Structure 1
Amino acid sequence: MSLWVEVFVPEPDGERRIPDVPDGVYQSGGFESWRTTVQGSEFVRSLGARPVLADQDL
């Protein structure tokens, strides 16, 4: 199974802006274990990320 990951930026008006992805960037979410060991890591959270998939399924 594949997981596609996109970053969004919340705008002041409540809309979500999805920035363009640079050429050559792979958007796969990685292996299932990455949900907690990478995406949900304290380091990633310290950068301000709120990785929904680290805590729950879609």
Structure 2
Amino acid sequence: MLRPIDSVRIAESDTLMLARPTHIVVGPRGDYFVVDGAEARVLQISAREQVVRVLGRRG
């Protein structure tokens, strides 16, 4: 079950930036799922602050 949250701090890197985060939820294992509306993708970020995977892309 995903649980919505109202805010989280995410550090961007030189190779992976968030253009327009629109939704953030926490998964059952503590991972964060961040919707990037401008890039049409979802980033899965582990509880240890590592990007696990990126789903989707523009186009």
TM-score (norm 2): 0.25
Larger strand percent: 2
| Structure having greater relative contact order (Cα 8 Å, sep ≥ 6) | 1
In terms of fraction of residues, the more helix-rich structure is 1
TM-score (norm 1): 0.25
